[in-house]
Structure formats: C-alpha cells, structure tokens
Structure 1
C-alpha cells in the first residue's frame, strides 16, 4: 500500500482481537509509572538507611539515664594520659564513644578495652584502631556498661553525666580491687575525694584511687 501505514484489513483484525498497539500517550504513562516506582524505592531506601544510622544516636535520649555521645577534646585525652603515667594493668573506657581514649591508652602500652552501646561507634573505633596499628591491644565491644563487671581492670576511664555518677560510684566500689584507679572526665563522682585533678572547664579530669575511697567509706 502506498504511503505506508497499517493496512485497513490489519487494523480491523487487531480491533476485533482486542490487540491494539499502544499509543504514544500510553507509552508516556508507562514511563511515568516506572519513574514513580523508582522514586518511591529510592526515598524508601534512604529513609531506612537514615533510620538505621540515626537510631543508635537518638535512643540514648529515651533511656532512664541519658548518656549521649560527646567527643572528647584533644586536651581531655592528653589529661587522661597524664593521669595514667606510671600506671600498669588493663584499662577500660566506660562508654568509649569514637574510641580515641582506648587507642591513646594502647599507644602508651596498655591493654585497653572500650564498652559502647552504639554499634556504629564501635565499628568506627575498630576501624580507627586498625588504622593506627593498635588493633591487638585496643578492643571494642557493644555492651551496656551496667551489664559489665569491672573487677578485672586496674584503670577505669569514665565519660559520664551527673545522673549516672552516684549509681556508677556504688558499682565500682563493689567491683574494683584496691590498686585500681578511676579517672572521671567532665563530671566528678559525688562522694569520692580525688587523688589528683588536672585541667580546667570541660577538660577537667579527676583521678580516684580505689584504696582511698574504700578507706573513707569504712570510716564511722
């Protein structure tokens, strides 16, 4: 047939059979539908990722004792290391955050462990320890500090908040050996008398010897 196109006989047969070729309008509608599904999938996937990443950082605010992640300053780390001079034995960082205290202690020759409830921070800390070459002596675990026993540690570092210090004070009094040392950053313990204090403002660090706070507790 001259001029091209579909012969009338073919169109008639297609109409009778119900098989009509899609028009350009139907094609555009199909493309829009596909883009809609793709966009919905991208948005949904992004929300899932954001939820998975953000939840460990947000949920501490809903616990009875809120212990948010606040990175240690370089001066705080320096002051902690200063309080550890001439010390020996295993070290634990209670709420180790991004792991810098544990890594700094490992570089000073300590076998150091960090307990942290946020899995993203634990994985990041492990990566940093490997990058710094101290992964053998700097270890990190996902755990609630209230479920950990500290009796095997000679040095305890705490980045706490005022609401938890009294409860943690009682826990450490029961579990630590007399030769242990507790180093508190940002907030002191309510009843203990520090053996040493260094730093100013938010960089202040208090060092407590277990033999001293046990002895003071036994006094009438």
Structure 2
C-alpha cells in the first residue's frame, strides 16, 4: 500500500531541506572564517622556537624609546605584532620597519600607521627573522626567548653593522653584557652594541 503524501507535506519537507542546507552552509562558512583568522595566531606554537603575540605595554614602549634616545638612523622591530613599537619609533623621528609572520597583524599595523599619521615613516613586512637580512639597520628591537639566543647571537654577529644598537625585551642575552638596562620587571629592556662582546 503506497503512502499518501499530500502537497502540503511535500512543501514542508522541501522547505525543511532548504533550511538544513542553508544552516549547514552558514555553519561551515563560519567555521572556515574562524579557522582562517585564528591559524596565524596558533601556528607559532608548532614552530621550533615559539614567539607568541603579546602586545607591548605602555611602559615597555617608553623604555624602548628611552633606549633609542641619542640614536639615529633606522629601526627594525623583529616580530612587530600590532605595530605599536614601530609607530612609536616613527613618532620619535626614526624610519621604522617591522617584520611579522602573522598577515593579519601586518595588515592591522599598516592601517594603524595610517591612522597615526606615520605611514610614510613606517614599513611593515611579512617576513621570517631567520630569512631576513638585518645588515641595513642601525637599531634593532626584539623580544627574546631563551631558546633562540644562541642562533640570534650568530645572526647578529654575522649581519649587523658596527655600533648597531640592539634593544632586547623579555630576556637579556645570556653571557653578554648590556651597555645599559632600562626599566624593571616585565617591562625591562637591555641595550647592547655590536660587535657583541662576551662577558666571559
């Protein structure tokens, strides 16, 4: 015996099917968008040396600008994040560049520089520190984790020009004597000059 399907029931089933497809498409689209946005923030955790995005504090930026006092030339912020250090350096009169792996942060930094009126004095690039040559810079700002210090020293020694100022945040360069230390606690910055001289 065949089931009796009325036109009304068929219409309800058709509408229900369309709603299910639309809901699945919307959910999938939202999931894809979230993945695209979050992947650049998550992938640093899978690298050999992890440098997570942590915004600089106001005091930290003040200490960096103090460390640049009396200096001239160009500034490079390695792992420039949202661009606030680069923008502060540009406002202090430097030509300031930032390199950052996260494309969203690079775009945000460019927009922020425009908003602060310093886009002509800043440059933001999506670059990997280990593949980017530092030889043209007079001042380097970098947040350091202990796992990267050995490789970082070798890169600095081979690429940086004499009398380049290296402003280090988070951790000092072990076994190397800074020419000055500015600030305290998490906002401390250590200033070094090239060629780096080992303490030992």
TM bucket, shorter chain:
over 0.9
How far 1:139 sits from its partner (Å)? 0.9
Aligned runs of 1:86-101 on 2, under 5 Å? 86-101=70-85
> Which deviations, in whole Å up to 9, do the C-alpha atoms of 1:114-168 show, x marking residues without a partner?
0000000000000100000100111100010100111100000001211112211
Select which of 44, 51, 56 maps to 1:67.
51
> Which deviations, in whole Å up to 9, do the C-alpha atoms of 1:90-133 show, x marking residues without a partner?
11001101110000000011000000000000000001000001
Q: Distance in 2 between matches of 1:104 and 1:173?
A: 27
Select which of 120, 123, 127 maps to 2:111.
127
| Larger Rg computed on CA atoms | 1
What residue in structure 2 maps to residue 37 of structure 1?
21
Q: Distance in 1 between matches of 2:53 and 2:46?
A: 14
What residue in structure 2 maps to residue 49 of structure 1?
33
Select which of 196, 199, 203 maps to 2:180.
196
Is residue 104 from structure 1 mapped to residue 80 from structure 2 by the alignment?
Answer: no
Gaps of 5+ in 1: 1-20
Q: Distance in 2 between matches of 1:167 and 1:145?
A: 11
Runs of 4+ in 1 over 4 A off after TM superposition: none
Gaps of 5+ in 2: none
Q: TM-score, normalising length from structure 2?
A: 0.95
How far 1:22 sits from its partner (Å)? 6.0
Q: Distance in 2 between matches of 1:125 and 1:22?
A: 60
Please provide the CA RMSD for this pair: 1.7
> Which deviations, in whole Å up to 9, do the C-alpha atoms of 1:152-205 show, x marking residues without a partner?
000000012111122111100111111210000111111221000011111000
How far 1:42 sits from its partner (Å)? 0.4
Select which of 191, 202, 205 maps to 2:189.
205
Select which of 112, 115, 120 maps to 1:136.
120
What residue in structure 1 maps to residue 133 of structure 2?
149
Q: TM-score, normalising length from structure 1?
A: 0.86
Q: How many corresponding residue pairs?
A: 197
Give 3-state SS (helix, strand or coil) of 1:136's partner.
helix
